[in-house]
Amino acid sequence: MNSQLPLIIECRSNDSDYRQENPHCPYTPKEIIQEAVRAWEAGAAIFHWHGRDPIDGKWINDVNVYLEVIQGIREQTDLIINPTLNYVTKESNVSDRIQHILAANNDPALGVDMIPLEFGSFNLDFWNPQTKQFDSYDQVHTSSRAYIKEVLEILQVNNIFVVTICWNTGQIRTAKCFQEMGLLPKNTFWEFVFTGEITPSGILPTLPNLQAVVDSIPKDDQWLVMCWNGDVMPLAAWAITMGGHVGIGLGDYPYLRFGKPHNGDLVDKVANMAHTLGREVATPAQAREILKMQPRTVVKEKLQVVAN
């Protein structure tokens, strides 16, 4: 892996609801778009988000919400757009989960650039270190191999870039099986999910564990680290020096040790860390090239409005 490649930073804006801890976790389309612009200006190349109810922040699968966000991001940035597939706590009908993706791709001015797909199921019950109990005991994110196969077939037909999400090495092995089937392209972007104390289902964020997952994929493949419900900064430092990439945002952790930051503030900290460690930060266009994605035409007049 070439550690001199520009660093791709993904902003992960609102996956979990940390609004009570940090009011800058975005709910409404306007807030999500504003956070996307802030992240882009700070150095993010990829933007990931979930549709949320503007009042209570619950996950919603409203196609119009997604289209509004995509339009706003397209008008003001050249970010690589990476929305969720929705419904993280259960396996719902595939057509329901992917309808916003297909709706966006039906409009040439909108579209999505990549889609994240988990390659296995996992328990979502949160651990409470104070009570020494789980907050629940039956929350499971179901991602069966039949479901994975169906989604990959749809993404393949629609020529949508797949981000391979893995919570453990077994899911990496599963993804490789789908590559051998010809459903998951060899050219994928591996995103490794490490988790903090309250989510023991994931990979503990240590250097040996990072090395283990990196050793599980071909040496020239591109990979990224994130830390769900935990601080990604130590992993970020290792990933930057090892040639990987970094995902960070208020959707993963509130980062209260930095006050009450916006997503852009967090992206800026990773970008500054990269510069300190001697690595440049990738623009969206450079990230597309690194990931061997198709280039996208940017409306320069609209970008100039933001720059001014």
pLDDT in tens, 275-302: 999 999 999 999 999 999 988 764 433 3
Q: Which of 260, 262, 266, 187 lies closest to 221, judged by CA?
A: 187
pLDDT in tens, 145-167: 999 999 999 999 999 999 999 99
pLDDT in tens, 84-132: 986 544 546 788 888 999 999 999 899 999 999 999 999 989 999 999 9
Q: Is the dihedral of CA 204, 207, 212, 214 positive or negative?
A: positive
Q: Which residues pair with 248 in a beta bridge?
A: 11
pLDDT in tens, 255-282: 999 999 999 999 999 999 999 999 999 9
Q: What is the pTM of this model?
A: 0.93
CA pair distance 64, 103, nearest whole angstrom: 9
Q: Is the dihedral of CA 97, 151, 143, 44 positive or negative?
A: negative
